[in-house]
Structure 1
Amino acid sequence: MWMGLATGIYTTNSPEACQYVAANCEANILVVENQKQLDKILKVKDQLPHLKAIVQYKGEPQQKAPFLYTWAEFMKLGEDVPNEQLNAMIDSLRANECCTLIYTSGTTGNPKGVMLSHDNITWTARVASAMVKGDSDEDVLVSYLPLSHIAAQMVDIWVCLSLAGTTYFAEPDALKGSLVNTLKEARPTFFLGVPRVWEKMQEKMRGAGAKASPMRKRVADWAKSIGLQYNYSVMNGEDAVPWGFMLANNLVFKKVRAALGLDRCKYCFTGAAPITKETLEYFMSLNIPLRELYGMSESSGPHTVSIDEYRITSCGKVIKGSKTKLENPDADGNGEICFWGRNVFMGYLNMPDKTTEALDEDCWLHSGDLGRHDEHDFLYITGRIKELIITAGGENIPPVPIEDAVKAEVPIISNAMLIGDKLKFLSMMLTLKCVMDDNGEPTDELTPEALDFCRQHGVTATKVSEILANKEPALYKAIQEGMENVNTRSTSNAQKIQKWIILEHDFSVVGGELGPTMKLRRPIVVKMHQEKINEMYAVATDKQ
């Protein structure tokens, strides 16, 4: 994470950011997490003429140097500083000055330093706090995302300060499985989960359900049907409560919420990446409706939010005091989503050309995302301009809806990535659901849900490698049928998937295929598997 003033204190856990600071920033003090991060900074220290000190806040530096400090040593330096000096520094701050730098994830190019002002931060935090109607001193949040990410910084730090709430910090391996332990301990009153967090919860609950007795399965299925009906009624503003809801709530819903640590949660949010309708409906069926929100680093986090009013697959309505418009909409109303408001950033650090690309003359922020509004002004994200696949025939195809449709059709699939830019037809790379190890790396072992899918199709394999080695006919047939079902809903032949392959390993943050919020890093995945892609299209060309 990087925080501070333009020439102040910065912290980092990103190797890309280390290189960026060497070229662009005038950091006086750098705060690093551990020895590994310290080693990265020391490699470029000669390129940092303004650097006075490096602080390592976990453990002690292995090297000895007058500019290296432990966290305890760093804290002692301030003991003799008079309050008058501190107050003078605080008084010198201005609302329109840079408060924090948030580096973009780099999923579509090199990371960029997003400059957010004090006004950006404080205004957005106050608006967000007012929307959730927090109870002062009583609200609890759980922090698990890297604080280099705008969602974590805004919610875990600034909104929590605005609410006078309490933030619980999860274990470092939160996204590898321990997050639920922190949730059960903290019992947050609000929780923002990235889609992969909700998907992992869904997979584990389905895996547990597959092992339940027939009677428990019937009860759970009945309760979930009631829960889905009830939450659709609430979403549509209807007062009718289905018969049996209170019983289902006592038998199933309350227990599920308690098991997940969400029994006190007033709102469960999802954002930072696309989420499937299947996952949304799954949690609706458990009486845990997920409210989608949408924004970006450049908008200080949230720009549209679903609170009391929501629509499934919509990311809500624009926050009070801001505006949204759709630039150059097509016949279906899909246009580029543009933001305006006090949450819109100052610009990119030392990148005036990129700033001009993002902000037009009227200070509208161009998101690069495609969306549409319904008749009630709910915003729906329909694609991303930079992610659009433009085939050799000139057809513009948003990949996410097709990828989500394939994953919904074939439950054994973990990740699906559509290929076809500048190519004659569409193909897809697939990964199978597998167990992740303690380091967050994919193993060869299939998940319980994947094993259940295999058993349903008469396949005894327990490992990804076994499926690939044997090219299990029944499983490959099931996947092909799922592809064909998706293709029947295509609006043109150009949008049909012609070929697909299964990769040896699932995508992960550790492997580099996913960003910190589990967003697919498409250019990197293409580069990693370029040889397989070439083979797939070469075989198709040979056959033609």
Structure 2
Amino acid sequence: MDIKCDDTNPIGPDQIKPSESLVTTDPEGSVRLRIPNSGKAIETLPPISVPGYFQRTVDRFPNKVALGWKEADTWKTFTYKEYLNEVRTTAKAFIHLGLEEKHSVCILGFNSVEWFLSDLGAIFAGGIAVGIYTTNSPEACKYCAEVSRANIIVVEDDYQLQKVLNVRSSLPKLKAIIQYTGEPKHSDVLSWKQLIDIGKSLPDDLVDERLRRIAINECCTLVFTSGTVGNPKAVMLSHDNLTYDATAIFERLRLTPGEETLVSYLPLSHVAAQTVDIYLAMCGGVAVYFADKNALKGSLINTLQEIRPTKFLGVPRVYEKIFEKMQQVAAQNGFVKKAIASWAKQYTLQHHLDLINGIQSKSWAYSLASSVIFQKIKEALGLQRCTFFCSAAAPLSTDIKKYFMSIDIPIMECFGMSEASGGHTLAVESANNLNSIGMTIPGLKTKIFQPDEQGQGEICMYGRHICMGYLNEPEKTVEAIDEEGWLHTGDLGKIDQNGFVYITGRLKELLITAGGENIPPVPIEQSLKQELPNVSNAFLIGDKRKFLSILISLKTEVDTEGVPVENLLPSTQNWLKSLGCPAATVQEVLKAGPDPKLTAAIQEAINRVNEKATSRAQKIQKFSILPADFSVPTGELGPTMKVKRRVVEQKYSTIIEKMYV
């Protein structure tokens, strides 16, 4: 039973407005908080607003470093007290520039101090913070600003500014544009310094008055889904959604208040980065340092080496890139070094597998390998102080997990959605499983909707982290959140007897063959990638078809913008050489048709995958090698690295149809 709130709550940001509904699609609406009358301490945690959450941390850690950024090769910092003052200054300036309550500030740029200040400044001013993906087109930016009723847009540089200027005439509610890097070339665009100067000239009661009208159960942030099909949905997150989920994750990880350090580099327009970098950090006085904008193009390691974070969150592609680089380095080692490394990896992998199986032991071989050999690797990566490694946004292959375990870097999976404020399940080393997405975070609930004989069905989530609804989209909100408040994820999965949650497919991605059999593509794609480590992406075809086929892209280099290029990775070249069909580029592989030795190797891997198929309909019959890998800039991947299936099908329709002639 949920607590019903009334008007007896105190005036101010920590008030709760009366509401009987669990959902709303109105930007000015409120919802009933899902606080049980009794239960675990984390479930009944007193609700708190974002400003209240922030103030509580400032009271505990006023002089602790909160934010760090680099200027001219020198690290600058804000303490938590200074951080709060800057947020209030930003909020005052936003109000002065015309930010109305429950209207938005859109932020378009790479992670920075200004991104954080804009986000929280919008919330302190009674507005709504909205991150926009930096890869968005001008039209996509316009859509986000229009839907969220943007009064202010904050952009990183002239490149992002041009997108806004292209659509400015179509945004009548837009009152101001601020550019936070470089000097604006347009007289009606404010620099960040001008914004702060405006805020400093205004009285504090300007923001205090807005704070008095904020409520915990109202929307403070919009997160746009990646929009793999049609326009993205605007997920409405309340103060309680964000502060509760961050606290639950903080408690699950048993972080040490005032002692942790993070590096911010994953896109803040995505909910995972916001939940971890802004709110998890705020929960316990964590110091957050910003990587530069080339972090995902190779410079991240420089920041890691300087900052030496205590916790690290990555997406699969980040770990895969580290793996590929380390494979290249290892290939240069002599026989003795390779023998030592092999010995050390064997004992280290076994140590971590023992932990998964509940065996608490530490051999002398593992202790030696960990403290001498792998400590040096961690130092080279800047991860020697890191005690927790996490992967989010998409599945990380079992082979990659095992590799990192073998060098004493156990990576834990987590799973969540924008609609669940970021985190819902999480693995920790004492409760881990190689094939699962972890256990449900304490205080939250998971169930399987309409399970079949094997216990597989749609994964559903419940808890105080479940969003308010989709902005202005009541039908889609009702589709996603049922009358009891359960969020239907669209993911197929199961829960085992130990509480581990597994994803086995996606309902909307199910391939329905011409014979009527439902086939989840992801498990088959992942299985083939495990058999072929030099394959970057495998894409299953078969919807309304007589049989399954698969598209394969080989691992290649990428340019400075993240676009795949012709040149194959050294590891891919070595693999081809070992098969007796050397090639340096994808074009060489495809010229006059792939070499029979390569096609035979791929077919053998497909045969091994097919041996695991539960029916003939789930066996791959044909394959084709693509001329380029998938990427965000070229459109096949969304901002969270999920494959846009319709885009791939349209882009390679000619290749696909040839397999069905």
Do the structures match in fold with TM over 0.5? yes
Task: Say whether the 8 Å CA contact 2:414–2:425 is kept in structure 1.
Answer: yes
Take 2:271 and 2:246, find their aligned partners in 1: how far apart are those partners? 12
* Conservation of the 8 A alpha-carbon contact between 1:458 and 1:474: yes
- From 403, 417, 438, the equivalent of 1:316 is 438
1:393-472 matches, cutoff 5 A: 393-470=515-592, 471-472=594-595
Structure 2 counterpart of 1:74, which letter? L
Q: Choose the corresponding residue for 2:646, options 500, 509, 523.
A: 523
Question: In structure 1, how many angstroms separate the alpha carbons of the residues matched to 2:557 and 2:186?
Answer: 38
- Could you tell me the TM-score, scaled by structure 2's length? 0.79
- 1:357 paired with 2:472, answer no
Q: Aligned equivalents of 2:148 and 2:431: distance in 1?
A: 43
Question: Structure 2 residue aligned with 1:509, among 632, 655, 660?
Answer: 632
Q: Distance in 2 between matches of 1:407 and 1:152?
A: 27
**Which stretch shifts more, 368-377 or 81-90?**
81-90
Determine if contact 1:10/1:30 at 8 Å carries over to the other structure.
no
Give the CA deviation at 1:196.
1.0
1:264-302 C-alpha deviation (Å, 9 max, x unpaired): 111101111011111111111112111111110000011
Query: In the alignment, what sits opposite 1:48?
Result: 171
What is the letter of the counterpart of residue 577 of structure 2? R
CA contact (8 A) 1:428 1:500 kept: yes
Q: Partner of 1:118 in structure 2?
A: 239
Determine which of 80, 99, 102 is the counterpart of 2:201.
80
Does the C-alpha gap of structure 1 residues 57 and 10 become closer, same or farther in structure 2, counting only changes over 3 Å?
Answer: farther
- Is the 2:129–2:222 contact (alpha carbons within 8 Å) kept by the matching residues of 1? no
Secondary structure of 1:78 counterpart = helix
Q: What's the offset of the Cα at 1:22?
A: 5.2
The one-letter code matched in structure 2 to 1:124 is D
The aligned counterpart of 2:326 is: 205
Local SS of the residue matching 2:591:
helix
Query: 3-state SS of the aligned residue for 1:77?
Result: helix
Question: Is 1:191 the equivalent of 2:312?
Answer: yes
Query: Take 2:229 and 2:281, find their aligned partners in 1: how far apart are those partners?
Result: 31
TM-score, normalisation: structure 1: 0.95
Aligned counterparts, 1:95-494, within 5 A: 95-307=216-428, 308-470=430-592, 471-494=594-617
Q: Alpha-carbon deviations, 1:331-384, whole Å to 9, x = none?
A: 111110111110000011111111111110011100001111111111111111
Aligned residues: 536
Structure 2 runs not aligned, ≥5 long: 1-105, 108-118
State the 1:239 CA deviation: 2.2
**Distance change in 2, residues 1:71/1:237 (3 Å):** same
Shift of 1:115: 0.6
Q: Is the 8 A contact 1:11 1:31 kept in 2?
A: no
Shift of 1:109: 3.8
Asked whether the 8 Å contact 1:195–1:271 carries over to 2, the reply is yes
Over 3 Å counting, the alpha-carbon distance change for 1:310 and 1:62 in structure 2 is: same
Paired position in structure 1 for 2:59: none
Give the match's secondary structure for 1:75: helix
Identity of aligned residues (%): 48
Q: Report if aligned partners of 2:266, 2:314 keep a CA contact under 8 Å in 1.
A: no
Q: CA RMSD in A?
A: 1.7
> CA offsets, 1:29-63, max 9 Å, x none?
11122223222222332332222111111223333
Deviation at 1:243, TM superposition (A): 5.0
Structure 1 residue ranges, 4+ long, deviating more than 6 angstroms after superposition: none
Q: Distance in 2 between matches of 1:301 and 1:99?
A: 15
Tell me, in whole angstroms, the C-alpha distance in 1 between the residues paired with 2:518 and 2:202. 60
Letter in 1 for 2:505: G
> How far apart, in 2, do the equivalents of 1:331 and 1:475 lie?
40
- Residues 295, 469 of structure 1: alpha-carbon distance in 2 compared, 3 angstrom cutoff: same
Q: What is the CA-CA distance between 1:536 and the residue it aligns to?
A: 2.1
Tell me whether 1:536 sits opposite 2:641 in the alignment: no
Q: Is the 8 A contact 2:127 2:220 kept in 1?
A: no
Letter in 2 for 1:115: M
- Deviating more after overlay: 515-524 vs 117-126: 515-524
Partners of 1:463 and 1:173 lie apart in 2 by 25
Residues 7 and 27 of structure 1 are in contact (CA less than 8 Å); yes or no, is this contact kept in structure 2? no
Please say if residues 123 and 343 of structure 1, whose CA atoms lie closer than 8 Å, have aligned partners that are also in contact.
Answer: yes
Distance 2:447 2:299 in 1: 40
